[in-house]
């Protein structure tokens, strides 16, 4: 499930925040905030996407979780939320 979420989150970010397909620096491990791919408004949009797409609720504290800084970590957070809701 984590791999599927990773692909979907990457696709959402690329489309919504106009990340070029040839941006070699954009990987599932890049820090999205420090490298300027997403800002605070984008974080709200991303959380909304995740909650709607996966029918989960993410607590506000997720914004401060070190895993919420990169796509692979976000995927783990989503997977944990899905497991907790099951």
pLDDT tens digits, one per residue of 61-70: 998 999 999 9
pLDDT tens digits, one per residue of 9-36: 999 999 999 999 999 999 999 999 999 9
Assign residue 26 the CATH number of its domain.
1.10.1200.10
Domain that holds residue 7: 2-85
CA distance 31 to 5: 17
pTM above 0.85, yes or no: yes
pLDDT-derived band of residue 60, with 50, 70 and 90 as boundaries? confident
Q: What is the number of domains present in the chain?
A: 1
């Amino acid at each position: 499930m984590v791999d599927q979420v990773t692909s979907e989150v990457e696709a959402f970010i690329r489309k919504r925040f106009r990340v070029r397909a040839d941006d070699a620096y954009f990987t599932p491990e890049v820090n999205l905030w420090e490298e300027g791919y997403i800002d605070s408004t984008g974080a709200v949009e991303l959380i909304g996407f995740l909650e709607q797409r996966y029918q989960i609720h993410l607590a506000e504290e997720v914004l401060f979780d070190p895993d919420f800084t990169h796509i692979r970590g976000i995927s783990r957070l989503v997977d944990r939320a899905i497991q907790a809701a099951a």
